Amino acid sequence: MALQSVEHELAAMLASCVIPSDTSITVAGVTDPDLPLVYVDGAFEAMTGHRAEDVLGRNCRFLQGPDTDPAAVRRLGEALRAGWFVDERVLSHCADGTPFWNEVRVSAVRDATGAIVRCMRVQHDVTPQVTAAPGDPARRDAGPVDRAAEPGGPRGSGRSGGDPGDPPPPLGGDAVPGHRPLRTGR
């Protein structure tokens, strides 16, 4: 077996161990101001019903619907453009229009010089946790009670630290304890 094939197989095994199968990964390019998707995995296709060949090259705004909070979308876009780490809960929509609560974590992918070359999104459908009634054991896994889940509350958690209106901290160094930016070999 060629070394490249072994490395690819090891990377796939590591990803399957580290990232739950119901968690999706997408990667956006940063050279185009529209931040087009350059990669989506099979979990993204399964979670949203959108096929890779239909969404690559497009901004992921196709996940938005009439009830999607524009402020949450704006915070995600700002984080992508600036290379910040942000954790946001936003109401997204599947290809068939079905809404779901999407926990989106965005972080920058930097090259060896520190320049941002891509932005990676890790996404997870947290609808069962968000919509569970208070006291329901399913809600336990949702983490802190999100104002997005409360009737009449704002959508999108803005859980990047600080006040919800504050921008997320810049990525790098110890901006997020234990988190280092992903770097490419270029």
Neighbouring C-beta atoms of residue 153, cutoff 10 Å: 11
Amino acid identity at 60:
C
Q: What is the DSSP string of 84-118?
A: B-EEEEEEEE-TTS-EEEEEEEEEEEE-TTS-EEE
Domain ranges of the chain: 21-166
What pLDDT shows up at residue 37? 93
| Tens digit of each residue's pLDDT (9 = 90 or more) over 71-123 | 998 888 887 777 778 899 999 999 999 999 999 999 888 888 988 888 889 99
Lowest mean pLDDT segment, chosen from 21-30, 48-57, 98-107: 21-30
Q: Residue 33: CB partners within 8 Å, gap ≥ 6?
A: 81
pTM above the 0.85 mark? no
Q: Look up the CATH number of domain 21-166.
A: 3.30.450.20
Look at residue 185 and tell me whether its pLDDT is greater than 80.
no
Give the β-pairing of 182-183 and 99-110. parallel
| Tens digit of each residue's pLDDT (9 = 90 or more) over 131-181 | 887 877 766 554 443 333 333 333 333 443 334 344 433 333 333 333 333
The Cα 42–Cα 9 span in angstroms is 16
